[in-house]
Amino acid sequence: MAKIALIGAGSVEFTRSLVRDILSFKSLGDSTISLMDISRERLNFARTVVNTLVERNGNRAKLEATMNRKDALRGADAVVITILTGDVNVWRHDLEIPKKFGVDFNVGDSRGAAGIFRALRTIPVMLGICRDIEKLCPDAIVLNYTNPMAMLCRAVQKKTGLLFTGLCHSVQGTAEMLARWIGAPIKEIDYVCAGINHMSWYLKYNWKGKDAYPLIRKALERKEIYNEEIVRNEMFKALGYYVTESSGHNSEYNWWFRKRPDLIEKYCIHGTGWNPGRYAYILKEYIQREKTWKKEVKKLVAQSKTMSLEKGYEYASSIINAYLGGSMFKFNGNVRNTGLIENLPKDCCVEVPCVAKKGRVSPQYIGSLPAQLAALNNITAASEEMAVDAALTGNPELVYQAICYDPLSASVLSLAEIRKMVKMMLRKNEPYLPQFKSVNI
């Protein structure tokens, strides 16, 4: 009987899907599911939903719900982390302050000035969780879904010896999108995808063993396909390899699409994919959700009585099953660069193919990325390394220097303007940066 701890279980929709997937494995069906969240109200909703799933699965599993993190972690075999440090009224400033300086973010949860400040707030919390794991369940596999993925994983992998892997939807999601574009069943697609989180590249994308990139290029000649992912399709035409994660995200990771209003209008407004790149897209979504979340969660509670119990496409349950002795499972994970990608910085967080087996996760050696891909990955990884060191040391000057190398900020602002922007963001975030003795730069 395994114990699986979900830290941040108040993310009710994700928790519901994850537990459904866990219970779909016979070997995990009698697990203890320990839900933990800092919000009692959200935790109670999650417990109600999960209890319904447990009952529908024959009451084999045992359910726990607690606001005490140590109780949830004690003796766990696997830990899944889905947290958010600070509510919308905290992280909205990550986007709104840069906008005053002309730096226009779409999501702002992963990298750049906005992502770096989310990392500064979240890294101390994440390390606190991991210190508890080291004491209470040091042999557990730890799976993180929290953004900013690369910086959080880098901090944990730098400061702990835990088996800690970050998971993201973008690799399998983009693979399925490309398969749809060329009319291929996803089961007939094989690929090798590697790079850094949200900026990994399909180094190989084959259909029935043959290179499918010519078919993808042909598909882009259709207006409806080109318009679905305008930013990513432009990047593909320029760089020769398709990148993971949405056009909206990728538009804020480079110099090319968001530095002028006319470029934003041309590339980031009219796409038909889920996130073409409008300013503050997710912030506006969260503000709306805050108004209606109780109503929406109550719908989830009701739907759990009839929802399909068939496993979804998230990796976590399959990885846990493999780690605890079930069937081997292949996935893309965020791990430390122990020479896996030779032309990216040593020890930075890279996203590469991995294999989960009993008691271990084995990442795949990639070699070198094509130069045009490594160039973009390297500058991003270097900026994030400075940001992680800033979070770990409490050095505000490193925050400024990291953002000097943020491609989007640097494409819009001078060094002096970046300093002024960062100073304003540091002061706004001061209550949430306990590791900083001073926020003066």
Residues 20, 35: Cα–Cα separation, whole Å: 14
Indicate if 93 belongs to the active site: no
Report residue 217 as tokens.
Answer: 């290029």
**Residue 370 is which amino acid?**
P
Catalytic residue among 169, 198, 249, 270: 169
Residues 166, 119: Cα–Cα separation, whole Å: 14
Cβ–Cβ under 8 Å, residues 257 and 233: no
In whole angstroms, what separates CA 73 from the centre of its chain? 22
Distinct helix (H) and strand (E) counts, the chain: 19, 12
Residues 111, 105: Cα–Cα separation, whole Å: 10
Residues 178, 182: Cα–Cα separation, whole Å: 7
DSSP H or E stretch at residue 115: helix 112-136
Residues 333, 402: Cα–Cα separation, whole Å: 25
Residues 109, 149: Cα–Cα separation, whole Å: 9
Strands 3-7 and 78-81: parallel
**Residue 118 is which amino acid?**
R
Residues 146, 123: Cα–Cα separation, whole Å: 11
**Residue 358 is which amino acid?**
K
Cβ–Cβ under 8 Å, residues 50 and 16: yes
DSSP H or E stretch at residue 280: none
202 contact partners, CB below 8 Å, separation of at least 6: 174, 175, 178, 191, 192, 193, 241, 242, 244
Residues 78, 323: Cα–Cα separation, whole Å: 9
Query: Under DSSP, is residue 399 helix (H, G, I), strand (E, B) or coil?
Result: helix
Report residue 124 as tokens.
Answer: 């101390």
Query: Which residues are the active-site residues?
Result: 169
